[in-house]
Structure 1
Amino acid sequence: MQHSDTTLARVVGAYVHVIRFLAGLCMALIVGIMIAQVFARYVIGDSLIWAEELCRYLLVWQTFLVLGLAYSRGEFVALDFLPAALPPRGRWLLRAVMAVPILGFLGLMAWHGYDFASRFGNQTIPALDFIWTALRGEELGLSIRYVYISVTVGLSLMALHVIADLIATFRPQFLDNTADYAATTAKADT
């Protein structure tokens, strides 16, 4: 059991590291592009017509990537007066009941996000085409579907966080207490 817990902790740690790296990379790119845009506009006197669009796409991806992490860290607004009044097992049961509509909503939105993204397979990202044409003389041709699929990816990751939260809080509330009860009963029998 110890080995599987260690392996799981490593996988989760790697996942969090990758998501944070990608979110940080998006932010660094946004800051760099906006600094270049300000420099171009106010020093050179010309504007980068692709900067705002590219920053918007990066911000959308960054937002959907970190949704699950924000959920896991408890950074969403929550009303917790009812859960606070319940015992630990009651809190877990309330979480489990509330997870059903949350997962249903996330699944529905992820499905519709995928459906929406699949409709734009032939449309390319104008900002990247402009940049690539200026650099290489030909369009990049990257589909805008890769921007729209961020909804499906982000909401699917968030659903995994909801499920992981239930699993992580289930064990201490139910399984560990059962083991303690079995140990106490064994001591009483001797």
Structure 2
Amino acid sequence: MDTFERWLLAGNRWVLIVLLAVMALIIFANVGLRYLTNESIEWAEEVARHLMIWLTFLGAGPVLRYGGHIAVDNLQDSLPRGLAVALRCVIALLLLGFFAFMVWYGWLYLQRAQFQTTAATQISFAWVYAAMPIGGLLLIAHWLLIVRGYMRERVFASDAHFDANASASL
């Protein structure tokens, strides 16, 4: 399981790095071209927007596993340990349900939009909407890998690349 987790996290990170780099290059090229020639790449804004959508959904899993999403912890901090664990179990189930909801409705949107095409690139909107169910599946995978530590002690994963607790104390 540790090998799967390392490969999942490394693969997820590299996809995010590539998507962000491509998006930055497209925007930089478009801005440079606009200022140098008064012309712009007609598909640049659309592609950058779609890459941002993919970045958002694919990046939610790694942020979740490190505790980087906004959370209100006051209630569970004020409860006795047993009640706090019970509350975290309820929260874990609600999150899992929400992620499953994302996958299901993302799939429905993907199916409904598969015959519509984008304005500039003329690709199927299914490629854009696929970010939601794929991101939801990644959220489920990341969540299942860390949920035990979260429910018991409210512990999130940490490593040299990202540590929410270290950045919160700065």
TM-score range, shorter chain: 0.7 to 0.9
Q: Which runs of 5+ in 1 are unaligned?
A: 1-7, 130-141, 174-190
- Aligned equivalent of 1:16, options 3, 9, 31: 9
Letter in 1 for 2:46: E
Alignment-derived partner of residue 157 in structure 2: none
Partner Cα separation in structure 1 for residue 84 and residue 2 of structure 2? 24
Amino acid at match of 1:112: Y
Determine the C-alpha separation between the residues in 1 that align with 2:52 and 2:152: 36
In 1: Cα distance, 2:98 partner to 2:151 partner? 22
**Alignment equivalent of 2:32, drawn from 26, 39, 48:** 39
Cα RMSD for the two superposed structures: 2.3
Pairing 1:123–2:116 present = yes
Match of 2:100 among 107, 112, 127: 107
Which whole-Å CA distance do the structure 2 matches of 1:52 and 1:159 have between them?
31
Secondary structure of 1:75's match? coil
Q: How far is 1:128 from its partner?
A: 3.4
Q: Which has the higher helix share?
A: 1
TM-score for the superposition, normalised by structure 1: 0.72
TM-score, L = length of structure 2: 0.79
Whole-Å Cα distance in 2 between the matches of residues 91 and 160 of structure 1? 24
1:55 aligns with 2:44: no
**In 2: Cα distance, 1:76 partner to 1:65 partner:** 14
Number of corresponding residues: 154
- The answer to whether structure 1 residue 160 and structure 2 residue 136 are counterparts is no
Moved more, 100-109 or 52-61: 100-109
Residue-by-residue CA offset, 1:131-186 (whole Å, 9 max, x unaligned): xxxxxxxxxxx42201101111112221233332223456889xxxxxxxxxxxxx
- Structure number with greater Rg is 1
CA shift for structure 1 position 10 = 1.7
